[in-house]
Chains A and B, each alone.
Chain A
Amino acid sequence: MTPTLQLFLIVSATLFSIGLLAVLSRRHAIFILIGIEMMLAAANLNFIAFWRFSPHPQSPTGVMVAIFSIAIAAAEAAVGLALVIAVYRHYRTTNVDQLDQLKG
């Protein structure tokens, strides 16, 4: 028995949910970024799986979207971590619960 598309989608849904769990339950800003990266990786896995199981895998559209998505995720990670360092310099904390200066 070979794995079907459903199994790949279930794995990627699980990875997405774990990323969401990290984003919602962590208080450290770096780990919120890690959760976002995991959710993006789950989306990439879906792109590749749908490309591989599509009736026309000759045209590598899914692969191209995944490559661009990885590049954009890398840019996002660089800017996000720079923001974390800037925030840490200013407030001496990376705990997102303590960053409530804009709260009314």
Chain B
Amino acid sequence: MNSIAFVAIAILTLAAALAAATLQKLMHAALSFAMTFVGVAAFFFLLGAEFVGLVQVFVYVGAVAVLIVFTILLTRRDVEDTGRPNWGGAIIAIAVFGGLLWAILKTQTLAIAAPPIEPLTVKRVGDVLMTDYVWPLQCVGLLLTAALIGALILVMEEKR
């Protein structure tokens, strides 16, 4: 694992996430959100989970980001997030970050290097999905169908 790649991806991801959380123009923030997920996918590639990285790019950058942009365009009345910043939220987020950082840095057993592994192929992922994880897979299929129908019913025209 390359530490230069790690630092570059970490800076890209966190800068894009900070931009998505703070930019006033909604469209700019939505594009920063897509950038964040490209960075997270790059982390998955760096960690040797190529299939999850590809799924992340397809699902988030391909589908969810487009959904968000469409929703912004459909609710065009307030395209800017005005109003004073909420300092209480920032203080809570910083406190949670401090707590997590303290816990991570205090746990000495986490300071380990990655063991060498043989690459996880898509064939192996498919094998496991169709044998050990076949019931979870069916449940996710049912959940996605239910979510599709639910989303359609929610946005249908209300009968007057």
Chain A residues at the B interface, C-beta cutoff of 8 Å: 1-11, 13-28, 30-31, 33-35, 37-38, 41, 44-45, 48-49, 51-53, 55, 57-58, 60, 63-64, 66-68, 70-79, 81-86, 88-89, 92-95, 97
Contacts and interface: CB of A to CB of B under 8 A. Distances in A.
Contacts of B60: 37, 41, 70, 74
Contacts of A55: 115
A19 to B, nearest CB: 7
A72 B49 contact: no
Given A11-B10, A52-B47, A63-B125, A31 B29 contact: yes
Interface in B1-49: 1-3, 6, 10, 13-14, 17-18, 20-22, 26, 29-30, 33, 36-37, 40, 43-44, 47-49
Closest 8 CB pairs of A and B: A24-B89, A75-B147, A17-B97, A25-B89, A21-B93, A82-B151, A22-B21, A13-B100
A2 B43 contact: no
B37 A41 contact: yes
Interface of B: 1-3, 6, 10, 13-14, 17-18, 20-22, 26, 29-30, 33, 36-37, 40, 43-44, 47-49, 51-52, 55-56, 59-60, 63-64, 67-68, 71-72, 74-75, 77-78, 81, 83, 85-86, 88-90, 92-94, 96-97, 100-101, 104-105, 110-115, 117-118, 120, 124-125, 128-129, 132-133, 136, 140, 143-144, 146-148, 150-152, 154-155, 158
